[in-house]
Amino acid sequence: MRCQLMICAAIGLFLAFNINVNDAVIFKFTNIVCESYNQSWVVFRYCRLKAVGRDKVHLNINATILHPAYNITNHGKIFKRASGYKPWLLDTTVDACRFMRKNYDPFAKIVFSLFREFSNINHTCPYVGHQILKDFYLKPELLMLPFPTGDYLLSMRWYFGRRLQFDTNISFVFVEDLLKS
Ligand SMILES: *[C@@H]1O[C@H](CO)[C@@H](O)[C@H](O)[C@H]1NC(C)=O
Ligand SMILES: *[C@@H]1O[C@H](CO)[C@@H](O)[C@H](O)[C@H]1NC(C)=O
Ligand SMILES: *[C@@H]1O[C@H](CO)[C@@H](O)[C@H](O)[C@H]1NC(C)=O
Ligand SMILES: *[C@@H]1O[C@H](CO)[C@@H](O)[C@H](O)[C@H]1NC(C)=O
Answer yes or no: are the C-beta atoms of 156 and 74 closer than 8 Å. Answer: yes
Q: Which helix (H) or strand (E) holds 80?
A: strand 72-81
pLDDT at residue 5 greater than cutoff 60: no
Ligand 4 contact via 31 beta carbon (within 6 Å): no
Ligand 2 contact via 67 beta carbon (within 6 Å): no
Q: Which pLDDT tens digit goes with each residue over 83-113?
A: 899 998 889 999 999 999 999 999 899 999 9
pLDDT at residue 181 greater than cutoff 60: no
Quick one: average pLDDT of 43-62?
96
Measured from the CA of 160, which atom of ligand 1 is nearest? Answer: 14
Which residues form the domain of 151? 21-176
pLDDT band at residue 180 using 50, 70 and 90 as cut-offs: low
Q: Is residue 94 part of a domain?
A: yes
Ligand 3 contact via 122 beta carbon (within 6 Å): yes
Binning the chain into helix, strand and coil, the percentages to the nearest 5 are 25, 50, 25
Q: Is residue 13 part of a domain?
A: no
Q: Which residue has the higher pLDDT, 8 or 124?
A: 124
Which ligand is closest to the CA of 98, given by its number?
A: 4
Q: How far apart are CA 12 and CA 24, in angstroms?
A: 19
Name the DSSP letter for residue 148: P
Measured from the CA of 43, which atom of ligand 2 is nearest? Answer: 5
Q: How far apart are CA 148 and CA 80, in angstroms?
A: 10
Answer yes or no: are the C-beta atoms of 68 and 127 closer than 8 Å. Answer: yes
Quick one: average pLDDT of 137-146?
82
Q: Which helix (H) or strand (E) holds 75?
A: strand 72-81
Question: What CATH code is carried by the domain that includes residue 147?
Answer: 2.70.220.10
pLDDT at residue 14 greater than cutoff 60: no
Count how many domains the chain has: 1
* Of the candidates 38, 27, 43, 33, the residue with the CA atom closest to the CA atom of residue 151: 27
Quick one: average pLDDT of 47-62?
96
pLDDT band at residue 125 using 50, 70 and 90 as cut-offs: very high
Q: Is residue 83 part of a domain?
A: yes
pLDDT number for residue 89: 82
